[in-house]
Structure 1
């Protein structure tokens, strides 16, 4: 594969009023409608870089969209991307819904993104992360008619997660977000709403489609662009938008997030050098409280998103166990 460009492969106007840019390819045969997003968080440039290469492949004929439609939004948050920051005014991947009266940058973008999400059948949202760790993918719940996240495409969504070429898949995000809300209430901290756990993938499920969030690797690692590029190509083949053999699953670990441990006071900190996806044995010390007490793994499992910078009311880490779900 080609190497990552030395500079970001997509440019945006230096104006907060600039429109979102999308590129859409329409196959000449019927098929599904895929949306691919990059730079929902502005300092995660692997998405724009990978998408730019895929667009060039499509324009040159190296890739031929034979059926269905694919829409690329290389930079979903231009202000944050231009600033090379995670956020413009706030986290775009939280509290996403259509606001009749937008008040900030992410509100205004969200109005357009939610309309795009409603137009499509499935979403691949390309991200990266701080620190070391293996690439992984977030996917959603099993089919259910519950109040929190009703859903009816669990098999198709897990199959999409499995095709991307990464070794780890994780589910259970929104259930754990409800636990964060409860912990903040117990600590008498400013409340959060369940909708604040909603981002692009949750909105796509709410709209009747299915979606995954791909975490390609560390922000500045050139390999992250390679992971994103391969995942987009795999998705196009998996969905039949291009004529390519369906890629085999690369998943070897599926994790069900089951708990979250919250920073309760300043000085609480995640322990050790754990990384997302690391297997931890029962009793392993995962966090240390300000008073010197420790928080340990309740069973054999996995640590997810450990944080040494968590503030009171924020997660020190999430905990998960081996999932019973199979692709």
Structure 2
């Protein structure tokens, strides 16, 4: 989930949008899944007929983050049905997904705007972009579930991570998953209120909670394996799979010392001259006062254990450049 959109003014500079890593993971043909049973294209709901939690799994909130599509296709191909409750599978920004060009793989992130910042009631009531129109169609499905998993990947090759509100239901669930990678906590309502999972939690069913799973680098095979693993673990945790169901291993080598982080501040590029002090990939930890960027004045780490989360590949004036989080241990 790269923080900033690719700059449309740079479309004539192919090198900026060209792949920086091998394209191991490519888009699948999902046309067979266009017509579901929800009245919304590329959305499928399976009801067990038995009392239990209602879960939704979302992929392709960003069109070039293929791991989610791979995880959804695996569930559909295997004809998985929940033992109790219901399971809703959503291919989100299919329009952007269809535009993928391997020569410019970052350009198909979205059509008009970041699809994970547009989930605001007033925007969905009067949608004026491809992303808000799609969100408005999907929103009723998300307002009727108990939990939402939104599958993403990152531009830079960094550790997978879980991102979720610092609320009792979310933190308790995360503790049971034995997720051996970084956990990022945020305050619901202040950190990106236009996030898909935040919308479901604030405007959906009472008690609904959700998580974003960043599954690794966009085009790495491991990110698809990671998406399969976190999806299956959550389905198993909620009792939608048999007790002895096979849960696949993580796509990446576990790091049980990864720890927890609290998101403190989102930094936007104020000028076209924003530049990082050096090349950052993410999870670099700084002491208070360290210079991490210039815009054009120096930007200093405002607290100790200041960790850079998802720095933009190409900082763009007026867009998010990096998120600052406090390492909690």
TM-score (norm 1): 0.76
Q: Given the alignment, which residue of 317, 321, 324 partners 1:319?
A: 324
Q: Could you tell me how far apart the structure 2 residues matched to 1:13 and 1:52 are?
A: 8
Q: Could you tell me how far apart the structure 1 residues matched to 2:53 and 2:152 are?
A: 23
- The aligned residue for residue 117 of structure 1 is 142
Displacement of 1:280 after TM fit?
Answer: 2.8
Unaligned 5+ segments in structure 1 are 142-153, 178-195
Q: Given the alignment, which residue of 299, 305, 309 partners 1:300?
A: 305
- The aligned residue for residue 157 of structure 1 is 170
Q: Given the alignment, which residue of 267, 273, 281 partners 2:273?
A: 267
Unaligned 5+ segments in structure 2 are 1-23, 101-107
Displacement of 1:100 after TM fit?
Answer: 4.0
Displacement of 1:297 after TM fit?
Answer: 5.3
Aligned residues: 282
Alignment of 1:137-176 (within 5 A): 137-141=162-166, 154-162=167-175, 163=177, 165-172=179-186
The answer as to 2:51 corresponding to 1:26 is no
Q: Could you tell me how far apart the structure 2 residues matched to 1:223 and 1:22 are?
A: 25
Displacement of 1:64 after TM fit?
Answer: 5.5
Contact between 1:35 and 1:117, CA under 8 Å: does it hold in 2?
A: yes
Q: Could you tell me how far apart the structure 2 residues matched to 1:103 and 1:282 are?
A: 42
Contact between 1:165 and 1:234, CA under 8 Å: does it hold in 2?
A: no
- The aligned residue for residue 183 of structure 1 is none
- Secondary structure at the counterpart of residue 114 of structure 1: helix
Q: Could you tell me how far apart the structure 2 residues matched to 1:229 and 1:11 are?
A: 20
- The aligned residue for residue 145 of structure 1 is none
CA offset digits 1:118-162 (Å, max 9, x no partner): 111110000111112111111013xxxxxxxxxxxx222123334
The answer as to 2:66 corresponding to 1:45 is yes
- Secondary structure at the counterpart of residue 119 of structure 1: coil
TM-score (norm 2): 0.75
- 38-47 or 245-254, which deviates more: 245-254
The answer as to 2:263 corresponding to 1:257 is yes
- The aligned residue for residue 216 of structure 2 is 217
